[in-house]
C-alpha cells in the first residue's frame, strides 16, 4: 500500500481529547478513520468496517483492550497497533504475545504514530516473497528453502540457530517480535535458559550482516526494544535507528 492511499483505520480510544486529536491528524493525512470509545463498540465497528489497521488503546472502560485483540485475531491478521501507557509494561507485552504487531507508548507524538502505522500498512502489503519463496529486504536476501542469506549477492554464513532467529525476525519485518515469541519459534520454549542467549545470537547476526555490508546499514537492521523484544526495520522506515543495543 502506498503512503496514505485512503487506508482505513479503526481507532479505539476512550480518552476524548486523544481520540479527537489522532482522528483529526490522520484524516488530514488522507486516512479514513472509524472511532470507537470502548471494547464492545470496537468489536462491532471492526466487524462492520473491516479496517486496514486497528489502533487500540489497552485501557478501556468496559473490558480490557486485550479482548479486542483476541477477537480480531480469531478471524484476521489485520495489523494492530497498541497505544500503551508507560506504567502498563506487562499488558503491552501480553498484547504483543496475543498478536498485536507494534505499540507506541503514551504520551506519543502524532508523527511517531503515523510512522508506525505506515510501517504496519507496508508490512501488510509485503515484504514480497519472491517466486522461489526467498524474502528480500533491501540488499538482504533470505532463502528459506536453501537456508541461505546473501547481502548484495554475497553469502553470509550464519549458524542454523542464527538463521532461524533472522528468519523469524525478517518474517515479521516492521513488527515487534517479543522475546517469548522468538524463543518459542526458534527454541520451542519460552522458559529455557536459552532466554539469556537471545541477545548473543542477535549480536552475532548483526556483526555478520555489518561485515557483509560495510558501506550499508544492515548492522542496524535488527532493532532492540528493551524488555520487550526485537524488530526488523523495513527499508524506508522513517524512524529507522541504527546501532541499537541489546
When binding is defined by CB under 5 A, the residue of 23, 55, 57, 104 that contacts Ca ion is: 57
Q: Which is nearer to Ca ion, 4 or 59 (CB)?
A: 59
Q: CB of residue 36 vs Ca ion: minimum separation in angstroms? A: 12
Helices (H), 100-239: 110-125, 160-171, 179-186, 198-212
Nearer to Ca ion, 89 or 239 (CB): 89
Closer residue to Ca ion, CB minimum distance, 57 or 102: 57
Considering only the stretches 40-48, 53-61, 72-80, 120-128, report the one whose residues sit in contact with Ca ion under the rule CB under 5 A. Answer: 53-61
Question: How far is residue 204's CA from residue 63's CA, in Å, rounded to a whole number?
Answer: 42
- Nearer to Ca ion (CB atom), residue 59 or residue 171: 59
Segment near Ca ion (CB under 5 A); pick from 56-64, 90-98, 173-181, 207-215: 56-64
Interaction with Ca ion in 63-102: which residues (CB under 5 A)?
none
Sign of CA dihedral 58, 62, 63, 68: negative
H helix intervals, the chain: 16-28, 39-49, 65-75, 89-98, 110-125, 160-171, 179-186, 198-212
Strands 102-106 and 80-85: parallel
**Part in contact with Ca ion (CB under 5 A); list of ranges 9-17, 114-122, 181-189, 193-201:** 9-17
Q: Which of 15, 171, 175 is nearest to 80 (CA)?
A: 175
- Which residue has the CB atom at the shortest distance from Ca ion? 59
Residue 41 interacts with Ca ion (CB under 5 A)? no
Binding residue for Ca ion, selected from 32, 38, 59, 99, defined by CB under 5 A: 59
Least distance from Ca ion to the Cβ atom of residue 14, Å:
5
The three cell numbers of residue 185 are 519459534
Residue listed under C-alpha cell 507485552:
93
SS3 91: helix
What is the smallest separation between the CB atom of 48 and Ca ion, expressed in angstroms?
A: 22
Which helix or strand (DSSP H or E) is residue 141 part of? Answer: strand 140-143
Pick from 4, 14, 32, 195: which binds Ca ion (CB under 5 A)?
A: 14
CB of 13 to Ca ion, least distance (A): 6
Query: In angstroms, rounded to a whole number, what is the distance separating the alpha carbons of residues 155 and 174?
Result: 24
Q: Cα separation of 181 and 98, whole Å? A: 10
For residues 14 and 97, which CB has a smaller minimum distance to Ca ion in the complex?
14
Nearer to Ca ion, 87 or 193 (CB): 87
Query: What is the distance between the alpha carbons of residues 8 and 24, in angstroms, rounded to a whole number?
Result: 14
Of 49-57, 97-105, 171-179, 232-240, which part binds Ca ion (CB under 5 A)? Answer: 49-57
| Site of interaction with Ca ion (CB under 5 A) | 14, 57, 59
Amino acid at each position: 500500500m502506498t503512503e496514505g492511499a485512503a487506508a482505513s483505520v479503526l481507532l479505539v480510544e476512550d480518552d476524548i481529547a486523544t481520540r479527537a486529536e489522532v482522528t483529526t491528524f490522520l484524516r488530514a493525512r488522507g486516512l479514513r478513520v472509524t472511532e470507537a470509545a470502548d471494547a464492545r463498540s470496537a468489536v462491532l465497528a471492526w466487524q462492520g468496517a473491516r479496517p486496514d489497521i486497528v489502533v487500540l488503546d489497552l485501557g478501556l472502560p468496559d473490558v480490557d483492550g486485550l479482548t479486542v485483540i483476541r477477537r480480531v485475531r480469531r478471524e484476521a491478521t489485520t495489523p494492530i497497533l497498541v497505544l500503551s501507557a508507560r506504567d502498563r509494561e506487562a499488558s503491552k507485552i501480553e498484547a504483543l504475545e496475543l498478536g498485536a504487531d507494534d505499540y507506541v507508548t503514551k504520551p506519543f507524538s502524532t508523527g511517531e504514530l503515523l510512522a508506525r502505522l505506515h510501517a504496519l500498512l507496508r508490512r501488510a502489503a509485503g515484504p514480497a516473497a519472491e517466486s522461489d519463496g526467498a524474502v528480500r529486504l533491501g540488499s538482504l536476501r533470505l532463502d528459506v528453502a536453501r537456508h541461505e542469506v546473501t547481502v548484495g549477492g554475497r553469502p553470509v554464513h550464519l549458524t542454523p540457530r542464527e538463521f532461524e532467529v533472522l528468519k523469524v525476525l525478517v518474517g515479521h519485518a516492521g513488527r515487534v517480535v517479543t522475546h517469548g515469541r522468538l524463543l518459542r519459534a526458534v527454541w520451542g520454549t519460552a522458559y529455557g535458559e536459552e532466554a539469556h542467549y537471545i541477545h548473543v545470537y542477535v549480536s552475532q547476526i548483526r556483526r555478520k550482516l555489518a561485515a557483509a555490508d560495510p558501506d550499508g546499514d544492515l548492522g542496524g537492521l535488527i532493532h532492540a526494544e528493551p524488555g520487550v523484544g526485537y524488530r526488523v526495520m523495513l527499508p524506508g522506515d522513517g524512524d529507522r535507528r541504527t546501532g541499537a543495543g541489546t
